[in-house]
Amino acid sequence: MGLEIDVHGLKLSYDTQPVLDGTEFKVERGELVALLGANGAGKSTLLRCISRILQPTGGHILLNGRELQQFGSREAARLMAVVPQETAADFDFTVEDIIMMGRYPYLGRFQKEGQTDQEIVRRSMEMTGVSHLAERSIATLSGGEKQRVIIARAVCQQPEVLLLDEPTANLDIGYQSMLLELAARLNREHGVTVIAAIHDINLAVHHFNRFILLSGGRVLVAGRAEEVITAENIQKSYGVPASTYRHPLNGVLQVSVVRGRSPSDGLNEGPPVHVICGGEEALPVLEMLIQAGSRLSIGPVSAQDSGCRFAHFHSLPVIVVPPFTNMNGAHKREHMEMLQQAEYVIIPPIQFGEGNLPILETVEMILEEGKAVYIIGLAGIETRDYSGGKAAEALQRLVEHGAMVLESAEGLASLFCVRGEKENGA
């Protein structure tokens, strides 16, 4: 099950404007692939060429080594099913009628649907959760319901390749997740090769395991998420600065667009803030602070830490120490200097181990000098303390010496908002 797809030197233009300009890639049999890229990168055009809706002006598309144009319409329809971005509902067909259309490639001229076809339709409706809509007119359904019906029709075709053209456009988050999980299920359980043009990168990485990033009608890069979804590649394809990080709950790679705040552009003129980092939990705090215009410094962190990547992306001062080691004398002096230069010191809700204890001791020293220290999310520290309770005790001492506790990063955002209003004379 599943087909291998080879695209070689594909070209196509609209009104002399090239949309595909020598596009080349290969999708192995049974892969689950997301097509990414900015609007106009060629995602939908590429899928329409593969589905034979459009005829490219140059290049070749091969299915299992065979030229696409050598397939007859009926044979191609048995191999490939397409779920378009939008579905017209101009005729008053019932949902069951629409889904039964997926069986037409298997029926001869004037041949009636048989019991096997009806059973496949029934299973397709059950799989997509539209059985209760069977007698409804397609014209009366919501956008999300129509998309489920069209996917049910595609399932009914029993294809070896499923092409999805931005199937989640204009759908709420529940329908988005359901539709993409269904595509992933067809891939897992039936080996269907899936290629989907996806607008939302963060949604794509939750459901796909291979990615093709388009830019200017060509493949910029293809591979796993870690290889494709990088700040550099996002900048090249979408034309916006971005940072990447691991989601703190599920570890999935995520993208966050940086909205014009970096030390190099002169926009960060807020108060100097030092953030004690170490782990993904610090990233929301760092994002919020840099968007607020703060002049950040970070550390200490290891070179593999997400905070270190964040600092390098934004050209921020950062203390980098070898993993699984304590700070040496030089690191301690550098850390103390950063703490003294900062107006605020922030401790996000990160995990704490034995290696963090000297860091907290240094913070306690500058707190005694009158420095403003904020601890975020002290409640539940026992679930993040891997030092046998020593870190919790150290944090409690900071509170006793005047450190302020905030329940979440939102409280920190409110603090900086109020401060900015006062400085602006509000």
Token pair 């409706």: residue: 125
Distance separating alpha carbons of residues 209 and 109, to the nearest angstrom: 40
Q: Please tell me the predicted confidence (pLDDT) of residue 264.
A: 45
Q: Indicate whether 86 and 136 sit together in one domain.
A: yes
Whole-angstrom CA distances from 79 to 29, 70, 292 are 13, 13, 52
Which residues make Cβ contacts (< 8 Å) with residue 366, sequence separation at least 6? 336, 339, 340, 345, 373
Distance separating alpha carbons of residues 27 and 211, to the nearest angstrom: 10
When pLDDT is averaged across residues 297-316 and rounded to a whole number, the result is: 85
Distance separating alpha carbons of residues 203 and 208, to the nearest angstrom: 9
**Minimum mean pLDDT range among 48-52, 211-215, 262-266, 387-391:** 262-266
Q: What is the mean pLDDT of the chain?
A: 87
Reported for 232-241, long-range contacts at CB under 8 A and 24+ positions apart, including other chains, are 234/201, 237/36, 237/37, 237/38, 237/41, 237/213, 238/37, 238/38, 239/38
Give the 3-state secondary structure percentages of the chain, helix then strand then coil, rounded to 5: 40, 25, 35
Q: Indicate whether 17 and 121 sit together in one domain.
A: yes
Q: Is residue 111 part of a domain?
A: yes
Q: Indicate whether 231 and 342 sit together in one domain.
A: no
Tokens representing residue 356 in the block: 């963090």
Residue range of the domain that includes 303: 258-423
Are the C-beta atoms of residues 347 and 320 closer than 8 Å to each other?
no
Q: Indicate whether 351 and 414 sit together in one domain.
A: yes
**Model pLDDT for residues 190-209, shown as the tens digit of each residue:** 999 999 999 899 999 999 99
**Minimum mean pLDDT range among 105-109, 154-158, 180-184, 349-353:** 105-109
Q: Indicate whether 97 and 50 sit together in one domain.
A: yes
Q: Is residue 246 part of a domain?
A: no
**Helix (H/G/I), strand (E/B), else coil: 416:** helix
| DSSP state string for 252-264 | -EEEEE--S--GG
Q: Indicate whether 236 and 192 sit together in one domain.
A: yes
Q: Is residue 252 part of a domain?
A: no
Token pair 């005790």: residue: 393
Q: Is residue 376 part of a domain?
A: yes
Query: At 116, is the pLDDT very low, low, confident or very high (cuts 50, 70, 90)?
Result: very high
Query: At 416, is the pLDDT very low, low, confident or very high (cuts 50, 70, 90)?
Result: low
Give the length of the chain: 426
CATH number for position 32 = 3.40.50.300
At residue 311, what are phi and psi to the nearest 5 degrees? -65, -45
- For residue 110, pLDDT over 50 is answered with yes
- For residue 171, pLDDT over 80 is answered with no
**Does a cis peptide bond (omega within 30 degrees of 0) precede residue 56?**
no
- For residue 419, pLDDT over 50 is answered with no
Q: What residues are paired with 11 via a beta bridge?
A: 21, 58
- For residue 266, pLDDT over 70 is answered with no
Q: Indicate whether 270 and 211 sit together in one domain.
A: no
When pLDDT is averaged across residues 10-32 and rounded to a whole number, the result is: 92
- For residue 53, pLDDT over 80 is answered with yes
**Model pLDDT for residues 360-390, shown as the tens digit of each residue:** 999 999 998 889 999 998 888 999 999 999 9
Of the candidates 181, 154, 211, 190, the one whose C-alpha atom is nearest the C-alpha of residue 25 is 211
Q: What is the DSSP letter of 113?
A: P
Where do the H-state alpha helices sit in 129-272?
143-156, 173-190, 201-207, 225-228, 231-238
The pTM (predicted TM-score) of the whole model is 0.68
**Minimum mean pLDDT range among 19-28, 110-119, 169-178, 311-320:** 169-178
What is the number of structural domains in the chain?
Answer: 2
Q: Indicate whether 296 and 216 sit together in one domain.
A: no
Are the C-beta atoms of residues 412 and 289 closer than 8 Å to each other?
yes
Q: Is residue 251 part of a domain?
A: no
Distance separating alpha carbons of residues 285 and 348, to the nearest angstrom: 7
Q: Indicate whether 225 and 270 sit together in one domain.
A: no
Q: Indicate whether 182 and 329 sit together in one domain.
A: no
Q: Is residue 98 part of a domain?
A: yes
Q: Please tell me the predicted confidence (pLDDT) of residue 243.
A: 76
At residue 89, what are phi and psi to the nearest 5 degrees? -130, 60
Are the C-beta atoms of residues 244 and 310 closer than 8 Å to each other?
no
Of the candidates 30, 63, 33, the one whose C-alpha atom is nearest the C-alpha of residue 49 is 63
Q: Indicate whether 53 and 148 sit together in one domain.
A: yes
Q: Indicate whether 105 and 173 sit together in one domain.
A: yes
Q: Is residue 377 part of a domain?
A: yes
Q: Is residue 313 part of a domain?
A: yes
Q: Tell me which amino acid residue 224 is.
A: R
Among candidate residues 241, 266, 288, the one where a domain is terminated: 241
Cα 207 to chain centroid, rounded: 9
